[in-house]
Chain A
Amino acid sequence: MPSLRDRTPLALAAALALVPASAAAVDDASGRLSLHGDGQWSYQRTSGDNALLEGTPEGNYDTAMFDLVVTARPSEDLVISAQLGFDPREVGAEWVFAEWRLSEKLRFKVGKIHQPIGNFNELRFAGTTRAFYDLPVSVYGPGNVIGTSVLGLAVTGQAELPDGWSLVWDGYAGAVRLTEVETYRGLPLAAGSAGTTVAPEERQVREVLGGRVSLTTPGELTFRLSGYGGKSAKEAEESRGFFAGGASVQYRGEQLWLSAEGFGSREVGSETAWAGYLSASWFLTEQLQAAARFDAQRTGLQGLSTGSPLLRHTEWAVGLNWWFTPAMVLKASFHDVTGNRFAFPEEAFDTELADAATAPSDRTQLVVVGAQFAF
C-alpha cells in the first residue's frame, strides 16, 4: 500500500522535540508569529500477503512525514494559520485559513479547515496526542465516514458553564474532502464491475452543512456529538445525498486516557457504513504507557446481502509507548485484523481486483514500531 505521506526533514524536528517543552519553538518578539511542527516515522510490517495502513508484507520503512504549523496574528482580532506538509515529492497545505475573533463565543474561519468531527480528526497528524501510532482506521481511515478537511466557512466558540462545565461548538459549510478504498469492487455487484483497480479515491461531498458540540465535565470527561451532510459525486456519476454522524467520549487524565466513538454514514442509494472503536491506555510509570484498542467497521451495499470479508474490519491492538517528553514518544504496537475492508494484497492497487481479490486471506497481523514528535 503506498504511503499516505512521506515527509522530511525529521532530524531537525526530532532534535527540537527533545528540547524541554516551550511555549513556541519559534516566536518573534511581539508574539505575532509562531512556528510549531510535528513529524513521525515508523516501520510497519504485516503477516501474509495483505497490506494494511502503511504496513506491507515485506516491511515498509518509507513512512516519514513532517508538518510545519505557522500562526500569524497581524492584528488583535485576526489570526492567519497554516499547516504545511513536506514530502520529497510535494508540499501540501493541510489547512490554511484566516480567523476573525469577535470573542471567545464567536470566531469565524474561512479557507481550508480541518473538519471538526469526532475526538481526533483535527489532530490526524499530531501523533503525540494519542496512544497508538495511527488513528483507528474504522472511523478515521479511508472508509467513507469522516473527511479530512472542509473547504469553506466555519464558526466556532466556547463558553464556561457553571460548576466547571464547559461547552465548545463548531459549525461549517462548504465542501468536505473524503477518502475511500473500495475493496468491495471485487464483489459481483453488476456485470462489468470487474476490471477496476483499488486505490484510495478522493472525492468531495459538496454543499455540506455540519457541526459538532462538545461538553466537558469538571473532571475532564468530554462528550461530543458531530455530523454533516451534503451531496456526494464521483466522476461520471449522479450526485447522491451523503450523511454521517456519531457520538464520542474522551478522557485524558494524568495516567488514564480513554476514547470511544461510534459513527454511521449513508450515501443514499449506494452504501452505508458503521464504525466504532474503544481505546484505553495507562501510564505505568511517567514514561511507560500501555495501550489497548478494539476497532470495527461494517460496510453495507445497496441491494446486496453478503457476509464478505471485503465489507468487514475487526481489529484488536495492544501497544507499549516510551515517552521521552510529552513532545517525543517511541511507540510499538501489534494489531490483529479480521476482514479485508482495509487489509488486502498490495497487488490490488496495481492490478485488476478481479484477480487480486479472489481469495485474499481474511486475517492480517500488523506490527508498527516508530517515533512521533512535536514542537
Chain B
Amino acid sequence: MSRLRPALALALTLALVASPAAAAATEDFKVVVHPDNPAAEVDRAELSRLFLKKVIRWPDGMAVQPVEPAAGTLREAFASRIHGKSLNALRSYWTQLIFSGRDVPPLERSGDAEVVAYVRATRGAVGYVSSAAELGGVKVLAVRR
C-alpha cells in the first residue's frame, strides 16, 4: 500500500470530497473511520487492500480492523466498485485465506448503525455504510478513483 500521508491527505480532502470522481465512487455508500484516524482520503485500490487484509496497519502503526455490513445490495455495490469482483469471487478469496490459515474475513455487522457503532468504538476500524446512514462520532473518508 502506498502510504496514506496524513498531511497530504488533509490538504487534498476538500478538493476530493467535492470532485465528481469521489462522488461517483461512493454514491451508494460512505467509507467511515474512527475520528482519531489521521487519514482523510483513500484511493480505491488502497481501500480494496484494506478490506482484503492485504494491508494490516495504518501508516501510524495502528492495526486495520475492517468491518462490513451483512450481505446485501450495499455489500454487492462495494464489492463491484471497490474490489472489481462479485460477491462469489470474494467468497472464494476468503475461503482460500481461511483454510490456509492466513486470515479471516472482516468483521460483519447487521446494519449501518452497528457498523457506525463499531467504528466509533474501535480506533483502527474502517467500515462502509449506506449514504443515508447517521454518522455521529465517525469520520468520512473521501475515496479517490
Tell me if B36 counts as interface (CB < 8 A to partner A): no
Bound together, the chains give a CA A277 to CA B129 distance in angstroms of: 45
Tell me if B21 counts as interface (CB < 8 A to partner A): no
Segment at the interface with B among A21-29, A54-62, A354-362:
A21-29
**Which residue of chain A is the closest to B106 with respect to CB atoms?**
A23
Contacts of B89 in A (CB 8 A): 254
Bound together, the chains give a CA A123 to CA B54 distance in angstroms of: 19
Contact check, A252 vs B54: say whether CB atoms are below 8 A apart: no
State whether A23 and B49 are in contact (beta carbons under 8 Å apart), knowing that A77-B63, A95-B101 are contacts in the complex.
Answer: no
Bound together, the chains give a CA A38 to CA B101 distance in angstroms of: 13
Tell me if A177 counts as interface (CB < 8 A to partner B): no
Bound together, the chains give a CA A160 to CA B87 distance in angstroms of: 23
Give the residues from 49 to 78 in chain A that come closer than 8 angstroms, CB to CB, to chain B: 69, 71, 76-77
Contact check, B101 vs A97: say whether CB atoms are below 8 A apart: yes
**Which residue of chain A is the closest to B49 with respect to CB atoms?**
A160
Tell me if A207 counts as interface (CB < 8 A to partner B): no
Report how many residues on chain B are interfacial, defined by Cβ distance under 8 Å.
Answer: 33
Give the residues from 306 to 330 in chain A that come closer than 8 angstroms, CB to CB, to chain B: 325-327
Bound together, the chains give a CA A252 to CA B91 distance in angstroms of: 12
Tell me if B24 counts as interface (CB < 8 A to partner A): no
Bound together, the chains give a CA A325 to CA B71 distance in angstroms of: 13
Contact check, A104 vs B54: say whether CB atoms are below 8 A apart: yes
Contact check, B105 vs A24: say whether CB atoms are below 8 A apart: yes
Contact check, A23 vs B105: say whether CB atoms are below 8 A apart: yes
Give the residues from 28 to 74 in chain B that come closer than 8 angstroms, CB to CB, to chain A: 45, 49, 54-57, 63, 65, 67-68, 70-71
Give the residue of A23, A36, A126 whose beta carbon is less than 8 angstroms from that of B107.
A23
Tell me if B96 counts as interface (CB < 8 A to partner A): yes
Contact check, A38 vs B99: say whether CB atoms are below 8 A apart: yes
Report how many residues on chain A are interfacial, defined by Cβ distance under 8 Å.
Answer: 41
Give the residue of B57, B65, B91, B104 whose beta carbon is less than 8 angstroms from that of A103.
B57
Contact check, B99 vs A129: say whether CB atoms are below 8 A apart: yes
Give the residues from 123 to 171 in chain A that come closer than 8 angstroms, CB to CB, to chain B: 123, 125-126, 128-129, 156, 158, 160, 164, 166
Tell me if B14 counts as interface (CB < 8 A to partner A): no
State whether A104 and B95 are in contact (beta carbons under 8 Å apart), knowing that A71-B104, A81-B101, A122-B100 are contacts in the complex.
Answer: no
Give the residues from 234 to 255 in chain A that come closer than 8 angstroms, CB to CB, to chain B: 252, 254
Contact check, B95 vs A126: say whether CB atoms are below 8 A apart: yes
Give the residue of A34, A104, A123, A325 whose beta carbon is less than 8 angstroms from that of B99.
A123
Give the residue of B57, B92, B104, B108 whose beta carbon is less than 8 angstroms from that of A36.
B104
Contacts of A114 in B (CB 8 A): 100-101
Contact check, A129 vs B95: say whether CB atoms are below 8 A apart: yes
Return the CB mask of B74-104 against A: 1 if under 8 Å, else 0: 0000000000001111011011101111101
Shortest distance from the beta carbon of A212 to any chain B beta carbon, whole Å: 12
State whether A83 and B101 are in contact (beta carbons under 8 Å apart), knowing that A76-B63, A126-B95, A160-B1 are contacts in the complex.
Answer: yes
Give the residues from 81 to 140 in chain A that come closer than 8 angstroms, CB to CB, to chain B: 81, 83, 95, 97, 101, 103-104, 113-114, 116, 122-123, 125-126, 128-129
Shortest distance from the beta carbon of B140 to any chain A beta carbon, whole Å: 22
Contact check, A23 vs B108: say whether CB atoms are below 8 A apart: yes
**Which residue of chain A is the closest to B55 with respect to CB atoms?**
A104
Give the residue of A38, A76, A166, A326 whose beta carbon is less than 8 angstroms from that of B91.
A326
Contacts of B57 in A (CB 8 A): 103-104
Bound together, the chains give a CA A81 to CA B91 distance in angstroms of: 20
Shortest distance from the beta carbon of A151 to any chain B beta carbon, whole Å: 14
Tell me if A205 counts as interface (CB < 8 A to partner B): no
Contacts of A188 in B (CB 8 A): none
State whether A31 and B107 are in contact (beta carbons under 8 Å apart), knowing that A101-B56, A128-B95, A160-B1 are contacts in the complex.
Answer: yes
Contacts of A104 in B (CB 8 A): 1, 54-57
Give the residue of A22, A31, A77 whose beta carbon is less than 8 angstroms from that of B65.
A31
Identify 12 new A-B residue pairs, CB closer than 8 A, beyond the known A22-B108, A374-B99.
A23-B104, A27-B108, A36-B99, A69-B99, A69-B101, A83-B99, A95-B101, A104-B57, A122-B101, A128-B92, A160-B1, A160-B54
8 closest Cβ pairs, A-B complex: A122-B100, A23-B108, A126-B99, A31-B107, A76-B63, A23-B105, A326-B91, A21-B91
